[in-house]
Amino acid sequence: MADDPFENMLAQMDRAEEYADVDHGIFERLKHPERTLKVTLPVELDSGEVEVFEGYRCQFDSARGPFKGGVRFHPSVTQREVEALAGWMTWKTALVDLPYGGAKGGVICEPKDLTKNDLESLTRRYTEGIRRMIGPETDVPAPDMNTNPQTMAWMMDTYSMYEGHSVPQVVTGKPLEIGGTPGRVAATGRGVSIVTERLFEYLDRDLSGASVAVQGFGNVGSNAARLLDESGARVVAASDVSGAAYDPDGLDVAALGAHVDAGGLMEEYVAGEPRATLEDRRTSGGNQYDDPDQITNEELLTLDVDVLIPAAVEGVITAENVRDLRASAIVEAANGPTTVAADEVLTERDIQVVPDILANAGGVIVSYLEWVQNAQEFSWPLETVNAELERRIGKAFDQTIEQYDQKDLPDLRTAAYTLALERTASAHEYRGLFP
């Protein structure tokens, strides 16, 4: 079960059902995506070869508004994963009260093996494949893993070519020049940093000097690390696929960010030799070492830190490793990083978890602000966008805490799910069954 993100999402729903005021018939309905389109994508690569890729777009639920959710390019994409991610988008948009449903797209590919031209051809062919189901009022894609503003520009252009005029509102996360909003690229990481601050306030603890470990240093992890570092937290570890850099005194987050932005790997960043082992670090307190050490991703997860931020893929905190975790709180920047079996142990161990559908909602919140600006044909300054992001994610955080405290729920995920399920179910009840 731990390996199947869709089963994991259903199990999260089941955990919340007993506390949620939701009709059982509607609850059962909410366990099934509305539709999933599978597309075959033959693409002529720069090498001259034709490669046939496979892609998906899942539209999970639209009771609260147009479908919304990103598109990921990754070798481990599956239909079930895309459907789970579309479900999580549904609960996320409901929890942060955006007038959207949930969707997700994915293409099975290894972007590192593709040239920029290959990626453009693949993106355009995928967009053609799903173009009949997307649109500003129906389904609005956005970036996710390994996709970015350039990908959105190609999607917007392809869709617009068929329409015969520019339709910026069909995707969010676009470059500024073609209708993007300031603040979108950093938005998910900014949201992670805001909820971490709120969590510390709630727990009556000081974020200043608190130690943070970040698993995954892509767009989300790196921006969260940068903003938490600016807020006075100490980012002691950060990782990518090649491994993790660790320094108990705190990493130079700006230098690390510049290294990764330039295409560098974490293992290359870890300078000097010989390296102290993790055990040496623990026993020495680590203070005599200036350079970061290389540790594994698994070691990063079990560091004794104030906050662990999984910001990579699904299913990294599992029944196998959850008892080794020593973090006092977890803020889920990734979608679905914790399996339900692990969740039960975290609840039992009283480790506070800010669930993904709240912690990483900053991205879709600012996507919504971009979509609204496109509809208004008017653009807002960065300060307005960031203030609105903070207001909206802060409100969702407060409502989740209120639900958790007032209803005496087992954990924050259950609190977030009960709110999201009740809101979505209520939309279904008002709209009724067609025909």
As annotated, the active-site residues are 104
87 interacts with ligand GLU by CB under 6 A: no
With 0-12 CB in 10 A as exposed, 13-18 as middle and 19+ as buried, what is 271?
exposed
Exactly one of 142, 270, 327, 353 binds ligand GLU (CB under 6 A); which one?
142
Between 139 and 299, CB nearer to ligand GLU = 139
Determine, following the binding rule CB under 6 A, whether residue 219 of this chain makes contact with ligand GLU. Answer: no
| Count of chain residues binding ligand GLU (CB under 6 A) | 11
Contact 425, 27 (CB under 8 A): yes
Nearest to ligand GLU by Cβ — which residue? 70
Between 70 and 292, whose beta carbon lies closer to ligand GLU? 70
Closest distance of CB 354 from ligand GLU, Å: 15
CB burial string 175-196: b at 16+ within 10 A, e below = eeeebbbbbbbbbbbbbbbbbb
**With respect to ligand GLU, which residue has the nearer C-beta, 189 or 363?**
363
> Distance between the two ends of the chain, CA-based, in angstroms?
36
Nearer to ligand GLU, 69 or 257 (CB): 69
In 195-328, DSSP assigns E strands to 211-215, 234-240, 243-246, 293-295, 307-310
Residues 6+ apart with CB under 8 A from 4: 80, 84
**Short-list 5, 1, 43, 4, CA closest to 335:** 5
Least CB distance from residue 100 to ligand GLU, whole Å? 8
Coil, helix or strand at residue 116: helix
Contact flag: residue 216 with ligand GLU (CB under 6 A): no
Taking the complex as a whole, how short is the minimal distance between the CB of residue 172 and ligand GLU, in angstroms? 5
Complex with ligand GLU: residue 90 or 347, whichever CB lies closer: 90
Closest CB 191 distance from ligand GLU, rounded Å: 9
Identity of the residue, 70 or 189, whose beta carbon is nearer to ligand GLU in the bound complex: 70
Nearest approach, Cβ of residue 111 and ligand GLU (Å): 16
Tokens linked to 404:
């958790």
Interacting residues with ligand GLU between 344 and 383 (CB under 6 A) = 360, 363-364, 367
**By rule CB under 6 A, what string of x and - marks binding of each residue 36-75 to ligand GLU?**
--------------------------------xxx-----
**DSSP letters for 229-244:** HHTT-EEEEEEETTEE
Question: CB 218 → ligand GLU: shortest distance, Å?
Answer: 12
Q: How far is CA 115 from CA 44, 122, 252, 431, in A?
A: 12, 10, 31, 46
* By CB under 6 A, residue 172 contacts ligand GLU: yes
Measured between alpha carbons, how far is 298 from 387 in angstroms, rounded to an integer? 36
Q: How far apart, in whole angstroms, are the C-alpha atoms of residue 197 and residue 433?
A: 42
Extract the tokens encoding 142: 């956005």
Alpha carbon distance 369, 294 (integer Å): 40
**Per-residue binder mask for ligand GLU (CB under 6 A), 271-310, x = binder:** ----------------------------------------
Say which residues have a Cβ less than 8 Å from residue 400's Cβ, sequence separation at least 6.
95, 358, 412, 415, 416, 419
- Report the C-alpha gap between 180 and 390 in whole angstroms: 19
Cβ burial of 362 (10 Å; 0-12, 13-18, 19+) is buried
Q: Does 335 bind ligand GLU (CB under 6 A)?
A: yes
Nearer CB in complex with ligand GLU: 292/310: 310
- CA gap 422, 404 in Å, rounded: 14
- The CA distance from 6 to 22, in Å, is 21
Find out whether 191 and 389 touch, Cβ atoms under 8 Å.
yes
Smallest separation, CB 80 to ligand GLU (Å): 17
Q: Which is nearer to ligand GLU, 237 or 357 (CB)?
A: 357
Q: How far is the CB of 360 from ligand GLU (least distance, A)?
A: 6
Binding site for ligand GLU (CB under 6 A): 68-70, 142, 144, 172, 335, 360, 363-364, 367
